[in-house]
Amino acid sequence: MPLVRINPNLNKVARVAEHTNLLRDFDNFFTEVSAPLYNRIVRAENIEFPVDLYETEDEVILEMAAPGLKAEDLEIGIEARQLTIRGKIVEEDVEEDKERHYWMKNIARTEFSRSLNLPENVDFEKIEASIEDGILRIEMPKVPEAKVRKIEVKAKNAKKAKKS
């Protein structure tokens, strides 16, 4: 970065403008240098894949976008009513590909964890999980007491009208 000489002939407004430009240049330089490291640290700790959580008549369903992950990359557990999804995005072996020179590296290849509290009406013993086309699907059947029950309404024969 070149040194800037202050011109004593400039008025005070012009001097402030020169300093402002210098400070802006320094700020831009610092941001460009530190951003890749900062982004890697922040992103590694705060990975959150989008989640849909909804219920049907018989079950509660969680769908989570998990692009590129396989079943062996994921671990799902339940403690009390808290469902925890853990996973690992594996770092590619850089030793094998020495010709790779990144221009940008935004994919956080690290471990992640996501926890959600589940409703009480889930049968925790019958939960099933599957992954297909980058979507993790966890199906959680409701306990029988929580399922919507339809009660049939029966028509009783009306009393026959008295004949006169």
Record the tokens describing residue 6, joined without a space: 């202050």
Where does the pLDDT of residue 156 fall: very low under 50, low under 70, confident under 90, or very high at 90 and above? Answer: confident
Q: Is residue 98 part of a domain?
A: yes
Question: Is the pTM of the predicted complex or chain greater than 0.75?
Answer: no
Q: Which helix (H) or strand (E) holds 145?
A: none
From edge to edge, which strands make up the β-sheet containing 128-132? 51-55, 59-65, 135-141, 128-132
What's the rounded Cα separation, in Å, for the pair 123 and 112? 26
10 and 71 inside one domain? no
Q: Which domain holds residue 9?
A: 1-46
Same structural domain, 141 and 80: yes
Looking at residue 2, what DSSP letter applies? Answer: -
Characterise 133 by phi-psi region: left (phi > 0), alpha (psi -120 to 50), beta (else): left
pLDDT digits (tens, 9 = 90+) for 72-97: 999 999 998 899 999 988 766 555 56
Task: Give the mean model confidence (pLDDT) for residues 139-149.
Answer: 83
pLDDT at 43 over 80: no
Residue 13 has pLDDT above 60, yes or no: no
CA angle 86, 91, 85 (to 5 degrees): 5
Does residue 155 lie in a domain region?
no
Q: How many domains does the chain have?
A: 2
